[in-house]
Amino acid sequence: MKKDFILPDIGEGIVECELVEWLVKEGDTIVEDQPVCDVMTDKALVQIPSVFNGVVSKLYYNKGDIAKVHAPLFEMQIAGEAQAPTAAPAATQTAAAPSAAVAGKITEDFLLPDIGEGIVECEVVDWLVKEGDVIAEDQPVCDVMTDKALVQIPAKYAGKVVKLYTAKGQIAKVHAPLFAIERVAEGAPAVAVSEGSAVVAAPVAATSTATPAAVMANNGKAVASPAVRRLARELNVDLTQVAGSGAKGRVYKEDVQKFVSGAAAPACAAKAAAVAAATSATVAAPAVATGGRRVEPIKGIKAAMARQMAESVSTIPHFTYCEEIDLTDLIALRLSLKDGLAKQGVKLTMMPFFMKAMSLALNEFPILNSQVNSDCSEITYFDDHNIGIAVDSKVGLLVPNVKGCQHKSIAEIAKDLTKLTDSAREGRVSPSDLKGGTITISNIGAIGGTVATPIINKPEVAIVALGKVQQLPRFDSKGHVVARSIMQISWSGDHRVIDGGTIARFTNLWKQYLEEPSSMLVNMR
């Protein structure tokens, strides 16, 4: 039996995702729990596993498409369930005729379509049909109530209602099955049964001869739902040019998608023929270079980060504080410890020292490890120092955090940090690692640059950007010019709860731990 695989919930509040990569192709045999694709939400890269054994018969999305949660992702033939026979032997043709009629029908789920922008669920107010009813295409089947209006849901196909999945008064999810309908399969052979014999008519290809103009409503507009019109706008499709497959020329999403994927080929062929004819008659004019442009949608993690940054800048009064730190002694300490820890499987970079020193300083200045509510009437202080590190991943900016740095050694922080950053760079960091951060470090100097004005990772109250390490001349205690390893650091603070004096004193303590590593070691708890 063929069955649609429904894209499951992949995170709280997530209603859609980008299909990054198919890990299988049509015709592949897959097993339960085998990864079938990678999808990108606005939070992380997620791998979707199969829940059945079987054969992939159809992939509903292409790489880069947006897939809806609770909507079919792909179709598969379930293992152990035989397909209906496509033809009967001639000797048993008479007996097989009734079975052929049954085989020409399929039972499938009707998925609740988009009923308004941003709407993910609704209440079933009333069913206008019952199980066993025969319904026509576009016949209203139920009334649903969104948070905006009462909407009537029409049937997409003619057929018989087999099962109602949601009772009156219950909440139905958009793109989830609403009811099951038995209908005639597309392309099924027409069957005529006479007494004593069965005559099977040759299959007739269902083709549409209507022009787009013939299927428009009287007012000149195509018949389509708001969701379909929104899809058409996103794809830059003129609905009046799309032949609708529904009653009275109603245009469905599938019609728009088929138009985009299939209509371009004939158009390109016609255009190519016209160009060829023109060039054969006249000498082609020299090509003129024109300024082009390319428009790409902002989606997934990049869209989430764009919203987060815009909200942070518009709601938090930022101020910046800069300082320089002499890391000469700390760099020497790291080099002396690096090889020994490498034998234990620990990759020791400079970052664990920065994080541990920050945690020690936060013990004295807990205001930097806090959050303030929206109307600035309450401050919440956190005992745990969950220090985030901004990672430039292949899917965009991610900020995983090392939990409980106040209880961890530098080696333990290094282990956790390596695991987090490796996962984040591949976009596969878990959602739990992205939540609960209390303060953030951005190591922009790893790429380049000395001074920055970082944007606070709301709802935190502070973030620091680390510049690149430079060999610069400085005076020693005897007035001699010496080369030192200098890093510029740039803080951004929430001026509603942090003033300049507080962040300066905090930075002085943090700087002391980093410039004199022995003072950091003796103050560890």
Residue 318 sits in a domain whose CATH number is 3.30.559.10
Domain coverage including residue 225: 212-264
**Same domain? 189 vs 232:** no
Pick from 200, 220, 242: which residue ends a domain? Answer: 200
- Rounded CA-CA distance 300/45 in Å is 9
Q: Establish if 278 belongs to a structural domain.
A: no
What's the pLDDT tens digit per position in 408-449?
999 999 999 999 998 888 877 777 888 899 999 999 999 999
The pLDDT of residue 14: 80
**CATH code of the domain covering residue 218:** 4.10.320.10
**Same domain? 238 vs 118:** no
- What pTM was computed for the model? 0.56
**Same domain? 23 vs 103:** yes
3-class DSSP state for residue 410?
helix
Q: Establish if 12 belongs to a structural domain.
A: yes
Per-residue pLDDT of the chain (525 residues), as tens digits, is 788 899 988 776 788 888 889 999 999 999 988 999 988 887 677 889 998 899 999 999 998 888 988 889 999 988 765 554 444 433 334 333 333 344 468 888 999 988 776 688 888 989 999 999 999 888 899 988 877 667 889 988 889 999 999 999 899 988 889 999 998 765 554 443 333 333 333 333 333 344 443 344 444 556 776 567 767 777 888 878 888 877 667 787 788 888 888 754 454 444 444 444 444 444 445 555 667 888 888 877 778 888 889 999 999 999 999 999 999 999 999 999 999 999 999 999 999 999 999 999 999 999 999 999 988 999 999 999 999 999 988 777 889 999 999 999 999 999 999 999 988 888 777 778 888 999 999 999 999 999 999 999 999 999 999 999 999 999 999 999 999 999 999 999 999 999 999 999 999 999 999 999 999 888 887
Three-state SS sequence of 411-467 = HHHHHHHHHHHHHHHCCCCCHHHHCCCCEEEECHHHCCCCCCCCCCCCCCCEEEEEE
- Asked whether the beta carbons of 403 and 415 are under 8 A apart, the reply is no
- Rounded CA-CA distance 221/239 in Å is 8
- Asked whether the beta carbons of 191 and 97 are under 8 A apart, the reply is yes
Q: Establish if 463 belongs to a structural domain.
A: yes
Pick from 147, 165, 200: which residue ends a domain? Answer: 200
**Same domain? 39 vs 146:** yes
The pLDDT of residue 138: 81
- Asked whether the beta carbons of 44 and 429 are under 8 A apart, the reply is yes
Query: Which member of 138, 318, 329, 495 is catalytic?
Result: 495
- Asked whether the beta carbons of 171 and 122 are under 8 A apart, the reply is yes
Pick from 161, 176, 200: which residue ends a domain? Answer: 200
- Rounded CA-CA distance 149/133 in Å is 27
- Rounded CA-CA distance 41/301 in Å is 6
Q: Establish if 286 belongs to a structural domain.
A: no
**Same domain? 144 vs 14:** yes
**CATH code of the domain covering residue 45:** 2.40.50.100
Three-state SS sequence of 240-276 = HHCCCCCHHHCECHHHHHHHHHHCHHHHHHHHHHHHH
**Same domain? 190 vs 218:** no
Task: Clarify whether 175 is annotated catalytic.
Answer: no
Query: Which member of 9, 33, 238, 499 is catalytic?
Result: 499
Q: Establish if 294 belongs to a structural domain.
A: no
**Same domain? 54 vs 95:** yes
**Same domain? 141 vs 260:** no
The pLDDT of residue 148: 61
Task: Clarify whether 495 is annotated catalytic.
Answer: yes
Q: Establish if 290 belongs to a structural domain.
A: no
**Same domain? 370 vs 413:** yes
**Same domain? 400 vs 491:** yes
Q: Establish if 314 belongs to a structural domain.
A: yes
**Same domain? 311 vs 221:** no
Q: Establish if 466 belongs to a structural domain.
A: yes
**Same domain? 216 vs 194:** no
Q: Calculate the dihedral angle through the C-alpha atoms of 46, 49, 55, 57, rounding to the nearest 10 degrees.
A: -30
Q: Specify the number of domains making up the chain.
A: 3
